[in-house]
Amino acid sequence: MPIELYDGDLPDDYDFGSSVAIDTETMGLNPVRDRLCLVQLSAGDGNCHLVQLRQGRYEAPNLKRLLTDPSVTKLFHFARFDIAALQAYLGVVCEPVYCTKIASRLVRTFTDRHGLKDLCKDLLGVELSKQQQSSDWGAVELTPEQLRYAASDVLHLHQLRERLDRMLEREGRTDLAAECFRFLPTRAALDLGGWADQDIFAH
């Protein structure tokens, strides 16, 4: 699993193709409070590119250009959180997007297990380790274990999308999934605006 670590931004003119898998690591689970520390990316080719973001240094013009490129689909697992973190700290709205967690919830209605670890095991036969999930991502230097963990979160998203797309088509829910994906940037904006725990569509 080749891993490239960059300080502050992606290299100039790096091409991820028509879709890029993305994940983020933050200091916690509140994107308003907990700063963005790391962005992981993969073109689905087995390679992972990590961008470490230092506190208060969020210029990253190449990364921002990729995140807002309308010709590149951004693949996430639990996109709602990652999109909110990227919007809060990089000031960009990621579009278009695809979320494997939402796709799983729409077609794997026979289970309540929709975590990335569960999807990789059930659909791909791949076991993911989550030992570094709660480590200090704001450290000046990340450990090899942290880098490997971060990379593993994006390496399989392209394969998961292929499997889930077939299931969505089989169950007649492809269009419904697409509408959910289009709403995600708005859902993230609601989270950042203070409506994270309220269903504004409820009675």
pLDDT for position 34: 97
| pTM reported for the whole predicted model | 0.95
CATH number at residue 142: 3.30.420.10
What pLDDT was estimated at residue 131? Answer: 65
Q: Residues 45-78: pLDDT tens digits?
A: 999 999 999 999 999 999 999 999 999 999 999 9
> Is residue 134 scored above 80 in pLDDT?
no
Q: How confident is the model at residue 129 (pLDDT cuts 50, 70, 90)?
A: confident
Averaged pLDDT for residues 167-177: 98
- The total domain count for the chain is 1
Looking at residues 175-195, what average pLDDT do you find? 97
Mean pLDDT value of segment 28-55 = 96
Side chain identity, residue 58: Y
| pLDDT at residue 140, rounded to an integer | 95
pLDDT of residue 1: 79
Sign for the CA dihedral angle at 70, 73, 76, 78 comes to positive
- Is there a domain that residue 111 lies in? yes
**First-residue to last-residue Cα distance in the chain:** 49
Q: Where are the alpha helices (DSSP H) in the chain?
A: 61-67, 79-90, 100-107, 116-119, 144-152, 157-170, 174-193
Q: Does the pLDDT value for residue 94 go beyond 80?
A: yes
Quote the pLDDT of residue 133: 67
Q: Is residue 142 domain-resident?
A: yes
In a domain, 203, yes or no: no
Q: Is residue 200 part of a domain?
A: no
Range of the domain at 113: 3-193
pLDDT at 132: 62
SS3 content of the chain, % helix, strand, coil (to 5): 40, 15, 45
Asked whether residue 52 is domain-assigned, the answer is: yes
201 lies in a domain? no
pLDDT of residue 98 exceeding 80, the answer is yes
Let me know if residue 202 belongs to a domain: no
Phi/psi for 149 (5° steps) reads: -60, -50
φ/ψ of 136, rounded to 5, equals: -85, 100
Contact residues for 181 (Cβ-Cβ < 8 A; gap 6+): 79, 96, 97, 98, 99, 102
Give domain status of residue 199, yes or no: no
